[in-house]
Structure 1
Amino acid sequence: MPEFTGFPPAAIAFLEDLEAHNDRDWFKANRDRYDDHLVAPALALGRDLARFGPVRLFRPYNDTRFHPRPPIKEHIGIPFGFEGGIGCYVELSLDGLLVAAGVYRTERDQVARLREAVADDRTGPALVRALGKARRAGLEPQDPDLVRVPRGYDADHPRAPLLRHRRLVVGHREATLPDWLHSAEAGERIGAWLDAAAPTVRWLREHVGPPRTGAPA
């Protein structure tokens, strides 16, 4: 039997109240609601979908030192199995449900390996197949980061659009909050989307891997 039976309607009510009262004192007074209605279901989902790696929830506080933003995050983010910036991610907010996987933040050496593996006729086609499986399940890659193919690569390369990526993420967003979100069906749907993204994640782990330098791309 699955542990995760969906996010309760009380989770949405909490997020609505948080949007209206986003300050640390209010959050401190309502922390039990956050833990019961968002954190507990998120951890249950993580246990049910442990095949995608361990879940380590982010802190609920935003860093407001350099960017003006609400002090409390108005969503809950659930990262699965992140290694070297590569993994899966689920997010619930009033904007809907996001399911994503891949590598979002890269360093220069990771970008170099990504491009080399995309261009290579031995490894590049496997990524195309992996992305095809993700697309058939309703997950789309984000737009390329570059307008043109990077220097050193043929502009007419058969995988030219992929060469324009500095990061590679496939994702699906439910832009509403459907009723199935409050049932065990939510876990089944999320698991199916992440299963479809798994070949892309495996390819990235095998051919890109974790960063080996400290310089951001």
Structure 2
Amino acid sequence: MSAQNVTIPASALQFLKTLKENNNRDWFNANKDFYLDQLGHIERFADALLGEMNAHDVIETVSGKKSLHRIYRDTRFSQDKTPYKTNWSGGFTRATALRRGGYYFNFEPGNSFIAGGFWAPEPKDMKLIRDDISFDPKPIREIIGSTTFRETFGSLQGEQLKTTPKGFDPNDEAIDLLRYKQFLLQRPFTDKEVTSDGFLEAANQTFVNMRPFFDYMSEVLASSPDGSSLT
């Protein structure tokens, strides 16, 4: 089977729906074979997606299996004691400190999306980003205002400060961008799209469309190699 023919079957989403209704260890253990079968589909899709991505980026994640997050929830510090996640999710790490930005995917009935960006930048990285934006906001505005960006992601997302970041002028022409604490890109997909024959191509193209933003950030952060990216 070629990579382009690898799909996510409807049964993979159906499993999650049923799990949500029976989120307990007895049901899960009785249906472990069903889980492993569906997990295999997701691993194969992630493998195929990784292969596509390595054609246009350098990814250090070694396999689709290694990209996936565990389905078992850590309930130690959570009020929600249900033992299992009801989504398939994972991420790909770009290779070397010079390539910034993280790739992420989430497949869940009614809430599937492809995402990427910078979830929790280190304070020194945030300072570099804000300094660059304040000095010249034109490059990032051109990227997030491009037709491709707007058609793919709509707008830049992420948590924002309610006030002016320390050390910056509240009248700065780029104050709307300087307030960002996270820099996230996200594209939603319907269940029908996720299980369609063209989803692998659509998911890969979504990651391709992140590159101008990632390249900009990578250049800005080149002098700070240990910052945090979305995982």
Give me the TM-score of the superposition, normalised by structure 1.
0.83
Q: Is the 8 A contact 2:11 2:38 kept in 1?
A: no
Q: Is the 8 A contact 1:141 1:168 kept in 2?
A: yes
The residue aligned with 1:127 is 140
**1:1-217 alignment runs, 5 A limit:** 1-3=2-4, 5-28=6-29, 29=32, 30-50=34-54, 51-52=56-57, 53=59, 54=61, 56-69=67-80, 70-82=82-94, 86-121=101-136, 124-133=137-146, 134-174=149-189, 176-178=190-192, 180-208=193-221, 210-211=225-226
Q: Tell me the secondary structure at the aligned position of residue 104 of structure 2.
A: strand
What does the per-residue CA deviation read over 1:42-89, in whole Å, with 9 as the maximum and x for residues that have no partner?
222222223342352222222111112332111111312257783111
> Which whole-Å CA distance do the structure 2 matches of 1:125 and 1:196 have between them?
19
Q: Tell me the secondary structure at the aligned position of residue 65 of structure 1.
A: coil
Q: Is the 8 A contact 2:158 2:181 kept in 1?
A: no
> Which whole-Å CA distance do the structure 1 matches of 2:130 and 2:5 have between them?
39
The Cα shift of 1:143 comes to 4.8
In the alignment, structure 2 segments of 5+ residues that lack a partner are none
Give the % identical residues: 22
Tell me which amino acid in the other structure corresponds to 2:47.
L
The Cα shift of 1:96 comes to 2.8
> Which whole-Å CA distance do the structure 1 matches of 2:5 and 2:166 have between them?
48
Q: Is the 8 A contact 1:5 1:183 kept in 2?
A: no
In the alignment, structure 1 segments of 5+ residues that lack a partner are none
Q: Is the 8 A contact 1:3 1:45 kept in 2?
A: no
Q: Tell me the secondary structure at the aligned position of residue 13 of structure 1.
A: helix
> Which whole-Å CA distance do the structure 2 matches of 1:212 and 1:199 have between them?
19
> Which whole-Å CA distance do the structure 2 matches of 1:39 and 1:27 have between them?
19
> Which whole-Å CA distance do the structure 2 matches of 1:144 and 1:183 have between them?
32
Q: Tell me the secondary structure at the aligned position of residue 117 of structure 2.
A: strand
Distance of aligned partners of 1:161 and 1:89 in 2 relative to their CA distance in 1, 3 Å threshold: same
Distance of aligned partners of 1:143 and 1:78 in 2 relative to their CA distance in 1, 3 Å threshold: closer
> Which whole-Å CA distance do the structure 2 matches of 1:167 and 1:210 have between them?
18
Q: Is the 8 A contact 1:5 1:186 kept in 2?
A: no
Distance of aligned partners of 1:212 and 1:81 in 2 relative to their CA distance in 1, 3 Å threshold: closer
The Cα shift of 1:3 comes to 4.5
Q: Is the 8 A contact 1:118 1:163 kept in 2?
A: yes
Please give the root-mean-square deviation of Cα atoms over the aligned residues, in Å.
2.5
- Give aligned pairs, total: 209
What does the per-residue CA deviation read over 1:159-187, in whole Å, with 9 as the maximum and x for residues that have no partner?
1111001110111213x312x32233111
Q: Is the 8 A contact 1:102 1:170 kept in 2?
A: yes
The Cα shift of 1:190 comes to 1.5
> Which whole-Å CA distance do the structure 2 matches of 1:139 and 1:108 have between them?
27
